[in-house]
Amino acid sequence: DNASVSDGLLTIELRKESAGGLNYTSTRLVSRGKGDWLYGKIEASAKLPTGLGTWPAIWMLPTSWKYGDWPASGEIDIMERLNADSFAHQTIHSAVTEYDHEARRSQNWHYTAPIRPGRWNVYSVELGPDSVSFFINDRLTFTYRKEPELGPRQFPYDRPMYLLLDMQLGGDWVGPIDTKALPYRYEIDYVRFYKKKNEE
C-alpha cells in the first residue's frame, strides 16, 4: 500500500502507522530477477521529500555475491538524500572503501553534489568494465576507476547488479524524525537503462 502509480508517476509514501510492532511504514522496490544489468547507464528522474528523518535512495546491489558478503561484492549508491539537505550523496562501496583506508586514499569514492530542492532532478550512473561514473542533471560529479593491482577488493563491479528504490526513516546517520509533516512522498517519473549499441 505504500507504493502507487498515478498519472505516470511512481510514489513511495512513508506513513505514521503501526505494522509489525513498528510505528512507521514505507516500502522498497527491487528489480532483482526483472532488471539486472552489467554495463550501461541507469538514470532516474525523482522529486525528493523534504523533512527531518527522511532518507530516500536509488541504489544497486549485486545479483550474485561472487566476492562475498557486503561490502566485498559491491554496492553503488546512485543517490541518497538526508532530511532537507540541498545536496545528494553518491557513493561506491567495496572491501577497499570500507576496510582498507590506505588503499582508498588513491581516489575519491564518495561525493556530495548540489541538487534543486523541491524540484525534479536526474540521477545517473554509467558502469563500464574499468570505471563507474556518477552524474546529477547530466553533470559529471566523479568517476571511480578500476585499479587492476587491487583486484575485486577494489572493483567488484564485473557482475550484474539490480536496482532498489526506497525511503527509510530515522537512524544514526539521518537523525531525528519530524512526525508532524508525515506522510512523506518520494516521487519517481522514470527509471531508464541504456546499453551501448555494440553490446548485446
Q: Where in the sequence numbering do the catalytic residues fall?
A: 75, 80
Q: Which residue, chain included where needed, has cell 547488479?
A: 161
Instruction: List alpha helices for the chain, DSSP H.
Output: 95-99, 101-104
Q: How far apart are the first and last CA of the chain?
A: 37
Q: Residue 120: exposed, middle, or buried by beta-carbon count in 10 A (0-12, 13-18, 19+)?
A: middle
Vertex 169, ends 30 and 71: CA angle to 5°?
Answer: 55
- Distance, in Å, from the CA atom of 147 to the CA atom of 135, rounded to the nearest integer, reads 21
Q: What is the DSSP string of 45-82?
A: EEE---STTEEEEEEEEESS-TT-TTTTT-EEEEEE--
Which phi and psi (to 5°) does residue 151 adopt?
65, -160
Residues contacting 22, CB < 8 A, separation 6+: none
